[in-house]
Structure 1
């Protein structure tokens, strides 16, 4: 029944997308040619001229939708994933249509019309899918449209999965019970309110006598010899099988399966910026953004340089060694905010609130983060990125890597002028552990839109930092 419902929902999405493209096409044609919103010196085009290309766009979009799994079940996915898929499919469909128009030399089709169609189509598709999502979450919370789950393993791992599942009722999963060879439930770490239906060997009879949509295997390492029998039994009854590895606690948030020499391997950390396309996109953005930023603030850079020079003797730019991508050391640039050190002196200390080494003008620069502006040159030279984990001095890196778990993960990508931690207020004299958790979340969940969000939050929150000394 559940699988029939999923197929029906997928088919309904296809039909709804086709209708939405039709509505968006009519609205786009009206906006471009009949509304008067966009003035044109040319005679309005006939809708019949555009009709065959709209049909072609519908067919192309449906094809890409199936190829890129836009219509596959997304019960376990967030709506953000659906947004990404919709934009991906409709963008590729538009590019394919433009390529077709170019190949057939159809120069009379308005590109402005296609641009309006693209924007309207994405907006309308996401709008109706959002309301469908809200509706499905609501009815699932009320007990409808549910999928039934059997958990193999009532120990810590299985119980923990069950507790997490109870915190997400909108997903619509209901646990019918557990199978386990352990019967002494008072000794378990978690309180279970679902029945123990038997031992692992009772799996076939439970599947035969109960409606089960998915089987979750949450067994300890010493039970791995049972996996072959479990999988064969589940597939005999057409059940989906998902395995939670017993080393789950040691894995990061997003491990993924890789393949090496024909052998499947678990890659313990999925880093989107390892993909070549993402690297190119981020680097191109860094070059453009830093170049524009340098041009816009160049008068301010000159004024600050004069201010530094007039208020204390010494160089205008302060260069400090920091650890960056792949643990490589580079020189990070800042406007000098402190008095110069005597020759041969090495600064290994933190800056304090009333640090006597700071100049009066330097205190202002540090408080407003204006001393960081030269780091746009670090971005331009490839040492840093606009967004990324803040780099630290080698001395402290050696210290923190021994004291703070996963501290060195931050060096998998380029450091940044600002980051997810800094945009959430973790700047200056704040918890290193908290900053690292934010940095790792950013590294594992990077998207181009995420970078734009961090830049926006950084600007919106302002550059004045009460924790910056």
Structure 2
């Protein structure tokens, strides 16, 4: 185990414990709101692809109807399956906070590729499918999560059916970004992603994200151009 991996795991434990303690009022209030509204369910578990393609159960706050997966795993803008309270939780990303326990238990890291269901992983271009999670712990935030924080809007901007847009327009870019992270991950890159994630939460918009990685060594230029084109359609 490399020094970077050891330190990253220690950091994951410390950061997740600290975040759980600080955010415990938010976690509690969110749980109570869900108990009193919608379908009165709090936590949602789903099998996701983890490090070296081993599956694990991811934890989230419930934001959609319990039968929503029958209609697919891709969530479009104004998706009728999303519960009223769920819309707020998804918009603020509070629904992701239970993943702090995934990090604490070692299923995930703070920074890494976004953990997806197997059917979504299969939408990656073939040359990327076996790269993204190879020796990579999935993360609460990462390149894919950072650039596609407003994924619902980007899907709607394509003018295509959501599943088609996800496969043809989103996944080639997201896969290239996650592959870039695998080849360039380190303390500096991880810290940069965490800082930019905090910025994106406090100041919605992707311009600082794009500019900060524009001149990064080996950054996928074609995909960055495609991303800018896609982003321009939402403005």
Q: Which residue of 2 aligns with 1:410?
A: 132
Residue 427 of structure 1 and its aligned partner are, at CA, apart by 4.9
Q: Which residue of 1 aligns with 2:145?
A: 422
Rg: which structure is higher?
1
TM-score normalised by structure 1 residue count: 0.38
Residue 346 of structure 1 and its aligned partner are, at CA, apart by 4.3
Residue 347 of structure 1 and its aligned partner are, at CA, apart by 5.3
Q: Deviations over 1:219-243 (max 9, x none)?
A: xxxxxxxxxxxxxxxxxxxxxxxxx
Return the structure number with greater relative CO, CA threshold 8 A, min gap 6: 2
The structure 2 residue matched to 1:383, chosen from 80, 84, 107, is: 107
Q: Deviations over 1:91-132 (max 9, x none)?
A: xxxxxxxxxxxxxxxxxxxxxxxxxxxxxxxxxxxxxxxxxx
Residue 422 of structure 1 and its aligned partner are, at CA, apart by 2.8
RMSD, aligned CA? 2.2
CA distance in 1, matches of 2:200, 2:44: 26
Deviates more, 1:450-459 or 1:346-355: 346-355
1:299 partnered with 2:38: no
The structure 2 residue matched to 1:456, chosen from 195, 202, 217, is: 195
CA distance in 1, matches of 2:205, 2:40: 26
Describe the shift of the 1:365–1:383 C-alpha distance in structure 2 as closer, same or farther (beyond 3 A): same
Deviates more, 1:412-421 or 1:422-431: 422-431
Contact 2:38–2:84 (CA<8 Å) still a contact in 1?
no
Question: Secondary structure of 1:400's match?
Answer: coil
Question: Secondary structure of 2:113's match?
Answer: coil
Residue 278 of structure 1 and its aligned partner are, at CA, apart by 1.5
Contact 1:312–1:359 (CA<8 Å) still a contact in 2?
yes
Listed as ranges, the gaps of 5+ residues in structure 2 are: 155-169, 207-230
Question: Secondary structure of 1:405's match?
Answer: helix
Residue 395 of structure 1 and its aligned partner are, at CA, apart by 2.1
Q: Deviations over 1:234-254 (max 9, x none)?
A: xxxxxxxxxxxxxxxxxxxxx
Q: Which residue of 2 aligns with 1:283?
A: 9
TM-score normalised by structure 2 residue count: 0.74
CA distance in 2, matches of 1:370, 1:351: 17
CA distance in 1, matches of 2:148, 2:116: 18
Contact 1:314–1:339 (CA<8 Å) still a contact in 2?
no
Contact 1:317–1:336 (CA<8 Å) still a contact in 2?
yes
Aligned residues: 189
